[in-house]
Amino acid sequence: MPDIVTPALIYILGALIALSIRNHMTRGIVLLATPIAALATFVTLPYANYGSFPLFDLHLGFLRIDALSYVFALVFSLAAFLSLLYAWHIRDRLEQISTLLYAGAAIGAVFAADLVTLFIFWEGTALASVFLVWARRTEGSYHTGLRYLAIQIGSGLLLLAGVVLHYQDTGSIAFGYMELDSLATWLILLAFGIKCAFPLLNNWLQDAYPAATLTGTVTLSAFTTKLAVYALARAFAGTEYLIYIGAAMAVLPVFHATIENNLRRTLAYSLNSQLGFMVVGIGIGTPLAIDGAVAHAAASTVYQALLFMGVGAVLYRTGSDKASELGGLFRSMPLTFAFCVVGAFSISSFPFFSGFISKSLILSASGDTGHVLVWAALIFASVGVLAHTGLRIPYVMFFGRDRGLKAEEAPRHMLIAMGIAAALCLVIGIWPAPFYALLPYPVAYQPYSFGHILTQLQLLAFASFAFALLVRFKLYPADLRSINLDVDWLYRRFLPSLIGLIGQEARYAWHGLTRAGAYRLKRALVLIYRMHGPQGALARTWPTGSMVLWIAVLLGITLCLAYL
Amino acid sequence: MNRIIYILGALCLALAAADLFRERHGDFAVESAPLIWCAFGFISYVAIVFAAKALRRLVLRPEDYYGRDSIDAEETEARDA
């Protein structure tokens, strides 16, 4: 294999070639070939550092292949291929090129061995991905894209500040394990946390993902957040705060997801909750937990993309991704339904689906280390995932109220992409050994025992029974045309109106002051005019006379003061 | 809908009965309590739904709340639909 510095270059090259091709078919083939070509450059290389360059007294490393970066690069290559296949019908070159550049930047960041390279690709993912939102080409998506870009670039700037301080502290820009003991490392953690959608820093995700094109959302779901998970696993494994942040992150999105009407936003919430599981794993930091976080990142990239593809296919055929407008598509889109159910079962971690064998590692690791509350929170969040995604998404699209929608089955290329993703979910779930073999540490974990399968089925069956009862007795929240406020309200409404209010008050105060000043001045002038004007009291006498009068007054006052 | 409830109910009964035969060891004592997983699944599901309904009272807004700044009230859901 020739020395290629970083596979990201292959993506950039692929994007340049695709840009110059006018024929739709040929361009599509170039697009699909790019992830495969890039994969071929690194897949057989032994674990080592390649592509190292000195820069002044720093050391840049573009291609660090080890167990951790290898898995993520593999999954990102797969996700890039699947999203491009799913988007085969797209003719918008802007969207196609930005998909390639986005995937390339994410893979470049995963292979970065130093923080400067990481920063460059980190910002690269932000810049390339915003075009997937803008490709929708509506006013709303333009504004949403701006908000998304501001937050993503902000994360990059925090990272840059952290890197500069870190270099001052340690004299090194190597990207490896960091202790949370300085401002520098806190800034870097915050940068990672924004991209990873930590609680309160998460709303860019739910804001931007439903605003992208239906194919763009599939692409977006794979890279940015998983890149952040990778970065956290690389730098902050075993950081205790992350256990609690992760647990909160797994639980909090559950409630919004349950009442959200826009199904792609529901999926963005459930993606957020899945990220929480990974962050818990990273926080625990034992080999089993890190394996769990990596396995869950890999498995969830596939099933989350599958779910976004399913909702996207329905959106493509019916023109809506809102629960309040969908229902009864079971007969007209049976294959999409089947693939959606595979995705839903995987995310709900039914035994023999991929989510089960990856989530179990994290749960087992939190059990081993005695974190009983975190463990219970994660199981609660698992029931939540079943509630808002596993049951609700297939139910509202394919069953529920039949709204007389006329739709046909999804186009063939979408079905193939969904079919590959669904097959992977099943293969990984049924036969986890080869998947486990890819993980950073050797896994001695047996997901399938009678007790484990039984308890998981009990959990899921009783929760499903509760779902059926609540739907039957009409206690389940109705699907309303609506939005739900979340933390983004603070910066979309509260802060702007607060600033507006302060500005208005300041303006009023200024007006008041100047008007009062002008009024006083006018009063003073009128008074002087009355005294000294043509008819004024003091104008009746000659000015010399008034001067004598005033001297007399002054003398009188002086006399009084002298005798006091 | 009623038929689904009966089928699910029967499944739940079968799984609850199978609880007698599982080995009782785990990281925490609570894992061994009889029918704990059944109860946890059912109760937390109901709790989530009712908590979400309560939350909705607080945060529900019309689709055009954010006006032209957001995609929620846009007619065309996706360009290529």
Q: How far apart are CA A106 and CA A84, in angstroms?
A: 15
User: Between chains, do B44 and A463 touch, taking CB under 8 Å as contact?
Assistant: yes
Pull the structure tokens for residue A83: 């999203």
Q: Scan residues 362-381 of A and list those with Cβ closer than 8 Å to B.
A: 364, 367-368, 370, 372, 375, 379-380
pLDDT at A12 over 60: yes
- Name the one residue in this structure whose structure tokens are 């945060």: B59
User: Between chains, do A454 and B65 touch, taking CB under 8 Å as contact?
Assistant: no
User: Between chains, do B5 and A475 touch, taking CB under 8 Å as contact?
Assistant: no
pLDDT at B78 over 50: no
CB pairs under 8 A between A and B: 200
Q: How far apart are CA A365 and CA A360, in angstroms?
A: 8
CA distances in angstroms from A32 to A80, A105, A221, listed in the order given: 9, 17, 19
Q: How far apart are CA A418 and CA A239, in angstroms?
A: 37
pLDDT over 70 percentage in chain A = 98
Lowest-confidence region among A380-389, A472-481, A536-545, A547-556: A536-545
User: Between chains, do B77 and A383 touch, taking CB under 8 Å as contact?
Assistant: no
User: Between chains, do A259 and B61 touch, taking CB under 8 Å as contact?
Assistant: no
Q: Which is more confidently placed, A545 or A220?
A: A220
Looking at residue A207, its pLDDT comes to: 95
Q: How far apart are CA A459 and CA A454, in angstroms?
A: 9
Looking at residue B56, its pLDDT comes to: 93
User: Between chains, do B68 and A140 touch, taking CB under 8 Å as contact?
Assistant: yes
Helical pair A287-318 and A214-235, crossing angle rounded to 10 deg:
170
B69 to chain A, any CB pair closer than 8 A? The answer is: yes
Dump pLDDT digits (tens) for A470-513.
Answer: 988 988 888 889 999 998 899 998 999 999 999 999 999 999 99
Nearest CB to A466; choose among B46, B51, B68: B46
Q: Which residue of A has its CA nearest to B74?
A: A140
Q: How far apart are CA A8 and CA A29, in angstroms?
A: 18
Sign of CA dihedral A309, A226, A210, A323: positive
The terminus-to-terminus CA distance of chain B in angstroms comes to 32
User: Between chains, do B2 and A472 touch, taking CB under 8 Å as contact?
Assistant: yes
CA distances in angstroms from A369 to A100, A239, A358, A451, A470, listed in the order given: 41, 14, 18, 20, 36
CA angle, A39 then A42 then A45, to 5°: 145
Q: Which residue of A has its CA nearest to B4?
A: A468
Looking at residue B4, its pLDDT comes to: 87
Q: How far apart are CA A248 and CA A373, in angstroms?
A: 11
Lowest-confidence region among A2-11, A318-327, A346-355, B58-67: A2-11
Q: How far apart are CA A374 and CA A186, in angstroms?
A: 23
Looking at residue A546, its pLDDT comes to: 75
- For residue A415, the Cα-to-chain-centroid distance in whole angstroms is 27
A445 to chain B, any CB pair closer than 8 A? The answer is: no
Q: Which is more confidently placed, A543 or A213?
A: A213
pTM of the model: 0.90
Q: If you average pLDDT over residues A445-451, what whole number do you get?
A: 89
Phi, psi of A332 (to 5 degrees): -85, -25
Q: Which is more confidently placed, A343 or A450?
A: A343
- ipTM value of the model? 0.92
Q: Which residues of A268-280 are buried (b: 16+ CB within 10 A; e: fewer)?
A: bbbbbbbbbbbbb
User: Between chains, do A90 and B80 touch, taking CB under 8 Å as contact?
Assistant: yes
User: Between chains, do A458 and B78 touch, taking CB under 8 Å as contact?
Assistant: no
pLDDT at A542 over 70: no
Residues of A in contact with B70 (CB under 8 A): 140, 143-144, 207, 211, 483
Q: Which residues of B41-71 are buried (b: 16+ CB within 10 A; e: fewer)?
A: bbebbbebbeebbebbeeebeebebbeebbb
Nearest CB to B9; choose among A136, A262, A465: A465
Dump pLDDT digits (tens) for A128-181.
Answer: 999 999 999 999 999 999 999 999 999 999 999 999 999 999 999 999 999 999
Phi-psi sector, A536: left (phi>0), alpha (psi -120 to 50), beta:
beta
Largest CA distance in chain A: 118
User: Between chains, do B42 and A485 touch, taking CB under 8 Å as contact?
Assistant: no
Testing the interface with A: which of B70, B74, B75 to mutate, by most A Cβ within 10 A? Answer: B70
Testing the interface with A: which of B50, B72, B74, B76 to mutate, by most A Cβ within 10 A? Answer: B72
CB contact at 8 A, A362 and B27? no
CA angle, A157 then A158 then A159, to 5°: 90
Q: How far apart are CA A463 and CA A385, in angstroms?
A: 11
Q: Scan residues 11-30 of B and list those with Cβ closer than 8 Å to A.
A: 11-12, 15-16, 18-19, 21-23, 26-28, 30
Q: Which is more confidently placed, A533 or B81?
A: A533
Nearest Cα of chain A lies from the Cα of B12 at a distance, in angstroms, of 6
Q: Which residue of A has its CA nearest to B60?
A: A484
Nearest Cα of chain B lies from the Cα of A56 at a distance, in angstroms, of 45
Position A256: which residue type? H
Pull the structure tokens for residue B1: 């809908």
Phi, psi of A60 (to 5 degrees): -95, 140
Residue A492 DSSP one-character state: I
User: Between chains, do B62 and A483 touch, taking CB under 8 Å as contact?
Assistant: yes
Looking at residue B81, its pLDDT comes to: 41
Q: How big is chain B, counted in residues?
A: 81
Q: How far apart are CA A446 and CA A391, in angstroms?
A: 27
Q: How far apart are CA A431 and CA A451, in angstroms?
A: 19
Q: How far apart are CA A333 and CA A326, in angstroms?
A: 13
Looking at residue A541, its pLDDT comes to: 60
Dump pLDDT digits (tens) for A419-435.
Answer: 999 999 999 999 999 99
As beta bridge partners, residue A59 has: A54
CB contact at 8 A, A21 and A27? yes
Phi, psi of A138 (to 5 degrees): -125, 165
The alpha carbon torsion through A295, A296, A297, A302 (nearest 10 deg) reads: 100
Q: How far apart are CA A348 and CA A338, in angstroms?
A: 15
Position A350: which residue type? F
Q: How far apart are CA A386 and CA A392, in angstroms?
A: 8
Q: Which alpha helices (DSSP H) does A171-262 contain, by range?
A: 183-195, 203-208, 214-235, 240-251, 253-259
User: Between chains, do A140 and B15 touch, taking CB under 8 Å as contact?
Assistant: no
- For residue A547, the Cα-to-chain-centroid distance in whole angstroms is 81
Q: Which residue of B has its CA nearest to A318?
A: B81
Grade residue A540 by pLDDT with cuts at 50, 70 and 90.
Answer: low
Q: Which residues contact A332 (CB under 8 A, 6 or more apart)?
A: A405, A406, A407, A408, A409
Looking at residue A478, its pLDDT comes to: 86
CA distances in angstroms from A194 to A143, A149, A159, A307, listed in the order given: 19, 12, 10, 24
Local structure of A554: helix, strand or coil: helix
User: Between chains, do A484 and B56 touch, taking CB under 8 Å as contact?
Assistant: yes
Largest CA distance in chain B: 59
Residues of B in contact with A466 (CB under 8 A): 41-42, 45-46, 49
Pull the structure tokens for residue A298: 């890999």
Q: Which residues of A513-542 are buried (b: 16+ CB within 10 A; e: fewer)?
A: eeeeeeeeeeeeeeeeeeeeeeeeeeeeee
Dump pLDDT digits (tens) for A34-71.
Answer: 999 999 999 999 999 988 888 887 888 999 999 999 99
Residues of A in contact with B11 (CB under 8 A): 461, 465
B3 to chain A, any CB pair closer than 8 A? The answer is: no
Looking at residue A196, its pLDDT comes to: 96
Q: Scan residues 70-129 of A and list those with Cβ closer than 8 Å to B.
A: 89-90, 92
Dump pLDDT digits (tens) for A140-151.
Answer: 999 999 999 999
Dump pLDDT digits (tens) for A249-274.
Answer: 999 999 999 999 999 999 999 999 99
